[in-house]
Structure 1
């Protein structure tokens, strides 16, 4: 009964925090933990301690399996990216992480084959894999949930984040973002509003024009009035996008509500950045080719880990200290 109390409480905390601000990454932890604890309470048997141990062991096993599956997906994705996009370094970035994630399993195989288990090293490797597998599962689950949220109309500005050009041409990834922005613009206009679409992105060293300029041409060529298109041509990162947009829209008024348009794999990190910069902004995503998602999602996950590095370091130390004690009981 205790787990069936704790689980719904965690889900209740998640629901409250989600209602107050759905752009918190901690929402992911409450959601995943609440579902896991509730599930253990529903299917478990025995005393509270037995159920807790069963849940802990199940999470360790599930997390390590998530890491193993992720390694396989990354290695397979590197082959597919090379076939579709060419043998460029950027398209092969998933090979390294895929190999690294396999190391604990290779160590386990060697230990079993030689009948010489290396207890401390083995436990540490699987604790590392288990922790990051758990965090990654939370991140993916919440990203999927956030990405499914319906668009909330009533925006004053539609901000489209750049993603790189092919010379002066808008490539498919960026075109999908612009098409999504045009769709939102049409919906807003149909309801009597006149939002501005802001194309955001500077000029890269290998680009003929700024991203914002190429994006604006794309929008105007597809029927968006010139007076409804704004430009932000200085930024080179998502954070800079948001900082410059905050300054630009601040000149238009103090109560500007905006929707940020990016790719579906990028929405959660964009939303978190917007919250940290105190922007009144929601995020919506454009569809991305499936083969592109594994490497893109991995980059987003790593960026989140880096952004919350101290939180992860403290949490990981707690897990390393507490988990062996709990499993001994």
Structure 2
């Protein structure tokens, strides 16, 4: 009964939190806990009523280490593809590094479990380091899974069409002046949303300043592309001073929000939608994110970047949790 009570509690907490504000980061963790407790409840019910279903559900749990290995191998190989197609850089190495880290962890975890009794007796320092390593892995992996699952959910949700402004987030320009294929997909998605909008007065906001290596602002390049697609200047509002995603939203809001609390649609790449929506919530902008497709080979690396950005937002609670676990572990030794 306590298990079913916790399941209902987390499911209701997620539904209520999501209904109030889909752009709340807390929803990702409530969603993960709701799914986890639903799985445990299903496992308990199956144990009592169906051996076949119980074994099937149990196999899902037992397959987790193999899934981690497969994900690690995939990310490791994908990292080489990204480096080949996009060039060598730290950002383009994220998939490779994470894949290598996952495979290394699985190897260390296997050795640690095998020699745990020996380490506990003869090398307690290494033994407790192994325990702490597992805690950190569970913590960071849990955040990754929560963010990943909620990103999928948020991405597939239907979007309202009664918006007042469509913000097109800028990206780097080809040769400093031409829209890249990645940015073109964002603009095409925004044009599609523009034509489907129920509000006849909807406006497009090309957003993005001019980088040091760019000849024109990203907003100007987006506006030129829009004109080539038949979009008239009178439905455009250029925001050409921003440098970051947060500034895209902030400066666009300053240009448009005159106290009438407009509704925005934020158009970016699919992997970037959720974090953009979190920023919009912080700025108290009503609206939702809309994502366009990203090249499949680049998607893992792009999502890892988003994950790293989320970790930055959670830096303080992560440090507190890590420190508390370390303190309790040290107290248990004494």
TM-score normalised per structure 2: 0.84
Report how many residues are paired: 313
Cα distance in 1, alignment partners of residues 221 and 165 from structure 2 = 19
Q: Paired residue for 1:158, among 159, 163, 166?
A: 166
Cα distance in 1, alignment partners of residues 329 and 26 from structure 2 = 21
CA distance 1:233–1:64, change in 2 (3 Å): farther
Deviations 1:277-327 (A, max 9, x none): 1111211111111111111111101101111211223344456677999xx
Cα distance in 1, alignment partners of residues 63 and 24 from structure 2 = 24
CA RMSD of aligned residues (A): 3.0
Q: Paired residue for 1:185, among 188, 194, 202?
A: 194
Deviations 1:258-280 (A, max 9, x none): 11111100011111111111111
Is the 2:75–2:99 contact (alpha carbons within 8 Å) kept by the matching residues of 1?
Answer: yes
Partner of 1:224: 231
Partner of 1:29: 29
Cα distance in 2, alignment partners of residues 176 and 324 from structure 1 = 52
- Residue 44 of structure 2 corresponds to residue 71 of structure 1: no
Partner of 1:269: 275
Partner of 1:50: none
Q: Paired residue for 2:137, among 119, 129, 148?
A: 129
Pairing of 1:1-329 with structure 2 (within 5 A): 1-44=1-44, 68-108=69-109, 111=112, 117=119, 118-167=126-175, 168-188=177-197, 191=198, 193-251=200-258, 253-317=259-323
The more displaced of 75-84 and 151-160 is: 75-84
Is the 1:158–1:196 contact (alpha carbons within 8 Å) kept by the matching residues of 2?
Answer: yes
TM-score normalised per structure 1: 0.85
Is the 1:66–1:133 contact (alpha carbons within 8 Å) kept by the matching residues of 2?
Answer: no
CA distance 1:235–1:62, change in 2 (3 Å): farther
Deviations 1:106-143 (A, max 9, x none): 43455578885442121111111111111111110000
Is the 1:161–1:201 contact (alpha carbons within 8 Å) kept by the matching residues of 2?
Answer: yes
Partner of 1:53: none
Cα distance in 1, alignment partners of residues 67 and 328 from structure 2 = 22
Deviations 1:70-116 (A, max 9, x none): 43333222111123334455433433333344443343455578885
Cα distance in 2, alignment partners of residues 166 and 186 from structure 1 = 27
SS of equivalent residue, structure 2 residue 141? helix
Residue ranges of structure 2 left out of the alignment (5+ in a row): 49-57, 120-125
Cα distance in 1, alignment partners of residues 38 and 321 from structure 2 = 22
Pairwise CA distance, 1:60: 9.8
Cα distance in 1, alignment partners of residues 25 and 89 from structure 2 = 33
SS of equivalent residue, structure 2 residue 289? strand
Is the 2:164–2:199 contact (alpha carbons within 8 Å) kept by the matching residues of 1?
Answer: no
Cα distance in 2, alignment partners of residues 180 and 102 from structure 1 = 37
Cα distance in 1, alignment partners of residues 202 and 96 from structure 2 = 43
Residue ranges of structure 1 left out of the alignment (5+ in a row): 48-56
CA distance 1:133–1:93, change in 2 (3 Å): closer
